[in-house]
Chain A
Amino acid sequence: GQQVMQIPQYQHVQEGEDFTTYCNSSTTLSNIQWYKQRPGGHPVFLIQLVKSGEVKKQKRLTFQFGEAKKNSSLHITATQTTDVGTYFCAGKRGSQGNLIFGKGTKLSVKP
């Protein structure tokens, strides 16, 4: 079935280092969403990308949607301890159907 693969599964960084998580689909996606789940919390929506090649920024976070709409990335510049958590991508194929979540990338930041 349709899968959304996310790598890496875990990432440990020193505070101040950059961090990137990648999301890949075998099929073209109509849109992709990113969520963040803090330890002990619930997923919280960050952003949605719809257009081919779209790039969106939220302060230190940069989100990209690939030209072929099959991959996406989330890049965090100069990580802080508040960035700790699991980042999930979720893609949707076509006009129907539900979002398919990746397994997430768990980010830990060492102060």
Chain B
Amino acid sequence: DSGVTQTPKHLITATGQRVTLRCSPRSGDLSVYWYQQSLDQGLQFLIQYYNGEERAKGNILERFSAQQFPDLHSELNLSSLELGDSALYFCASSVTGQGNNEQFFGPGTRLTVL
């Protein structure tokens, strides 16, 4: 158990819909990262937040958005969903946001778009 929690575990929805994925970082970690992992693909970095502020942006689509709240939990919003958005979405946290600390990954949310 990494200490990072993600809800829900599984999500099945239809094309065109909007969903929200939630992540609670490890206690004491200020930075949260979101990754997308498609079948047999690596980890595609989406976005990073540090202490409530956006720190870095990766290959995140305009249909996707995220935020980190004052209690440091984070939400990833995916809208106008397409079949290709089906993937495993991981949240990770670290103490700092500078890429020199290990990242602790949550169990992931498996999104299926039908």
Interface residues, chain A, with chain B CB atoms under 8 Å away:
6, 30-31, 33, 35, 41-45, 48, 50, 88, 92, 95-104, 106
Contact = CB atoms under 8 A, between A and B. Distances in A.
Nearest to B45: A98
Task: Provide the main secondary structure of the chain B interface.
Answer: loop
Interface residues of B, number: 24
Interface of B: 2, 33, 35, 40-43, 45, 48, 55-56, 58, 90, 92, 98-100, 102-108
A100 B99 CA distance: 9
Contacts of B106: 42
Nearest to B42: A103
Contacts of B107: 41-42
A53 to B, nearest CB: 18
Given A42-B90, A42-B106, A99 B99 contact: yes
B102 A45 contact: yes
B100 A42 contact: no
